[in-house]
Chains A and B, each alone.
Chain A
């Protein structure tokens, strides 16, 4: 799993971390999202390093509380540290996470170049999550949360969210 390779996460903690979801995209676990950069147990205390998706992401405080609550059930204490560097990237979302996101109705982030072509050059590259057409257009660079842009499909007319590429 790519997430556990790039981040330092103790294998025995994974089942508990998998129970904590992103409050704004509830189909994703914090592991899918790639915001856990470290989760290790030291002298009975779980030390977690968390990184925000966007600077002002309000989900971070909630995720921190949810992590504490999840580990409290197992009788473990948690220390959470917020880290900014290296900055979170959409590359850290797991393949399974991207798949779940699409099923949920949010188009997955394109590559950095394609993302720029779409957001700056109005190219039609984002796939509609409803009918699969790429005949879509950007309605607003800012969507329902900081990480998403608002799109509309010109074939089936469905409005949908696009997860902006961040690198």
Chain B
């Protein structure tokens, strides 16, 4: 039972990175400028690298001939445990940066805690990735500020993006059964402990960006439990295409 919880817990972390990386990967070659294009794919690559480390570990725990590729590519939609935030589409550059920033702040706080996990492998993955994630947050935060405090149009677009994405932020702190079991073991991270820190930090940056902090009224969740938005199927159709069409193919 412990292994099942640990396996599910790891996938919960890894799927966020994988699906966000896939979204960023869609923009490869389509960034507004060369530098932002390269930055987006760099961030995507870091996230895929982190996801690979988690999946390799998950495959080892599961045994039964599981591989990292199998876990990443051959599950059905309901088996993915990522939050709804990361599967939201690339509406426009401001939207992409808003989505990234709202995730990065959480991600860095999370990694900071994962360093202290009693699970050595998870702590090592966090140690490896934490500096990468701090670069991501700096980049996305800078763009939210620049666009928020930019022209009238960029401000408006950024505001709309934040307003839309805000409803997905609460799910970051939702705790599944696997989360709770792992927290009690000292392996998992109790995200409720930094929920207020998260909203304080995000709100401060939004204000600096001359944006309004949305009022928290209601939130949409479900991804962590496998109930995804309609976007998820399209993401998987593209992401899984090669493995579905040519089973077990390797590079």
Q: Interface residues, chain A, CB within 8 Å of chain B?
A: 52, 54-58, 84-88, 119-120, 139-144, 146, 150, 164, 166-167
On whether A56 and B124 interact (CB within 8 A), knowing A141-B135, A143-B38, the answer reads no
Q: Which of B35, B38, B127, B131 sits near A84, CB closer than 8 Å?
A: B127
Can you spell out 27 A-B residue pairs with CB atoms less than 8 angstroms apart? A52-B49, A54-B46, A55-B52, A55-B132, A56-B47, A56-B49, A57-B49, A84-B125, A84-B127, A85-B120, A87-B124, A87-B128, A88-B128, A139-B35, A140-B39, A141-B135, A142-B35, A142-B42, A142-B43, A142-B135, A143-B38, A143-B42, A146-B46, A146-B49, A150-B35, A164-B135, A166-B131
User: A99 CA to B173 CA in the complex, in Å?
Assistant: 47
A residues less than 8 Å from B42 (CB atoms): 142-143, 146
On whether A141 and B138 interact (CB within 8 A), knowing A55-B46, A55-B129, A56-B46, the answer reads yes
Q: Interface residues, chain B, CB within 8 Å of chain A?
A: 35, 38-39, 42-43, 45-50, 52-53, 120-121, 123-125, 127-129, 131-132, 135, 138-139
| Chain A residue, CB-CB nearest to B44 | A56
| Chain A residue, CB-CB nearest to B127 | A87
Q: How many whole Å from A146's CB to the nearest CB in chain B?
A: 6
A residues less than 8 Å from B139 (CB atoms): 141-142
A residues less than 8 Å from B53 (CB atoms): 55, 84
> Is B39 a contact partner of A142 (Cβ separation < 8 A)?
yes
> Is A120 a contact partner of B127 (Cβ separation < 8 A)?
no
User: A139 CA to B49 CA in the complex, in Å?
Assistant: 25
> Is B49 a contact partner of A55 (Cβ separation < 8 A)?
yes
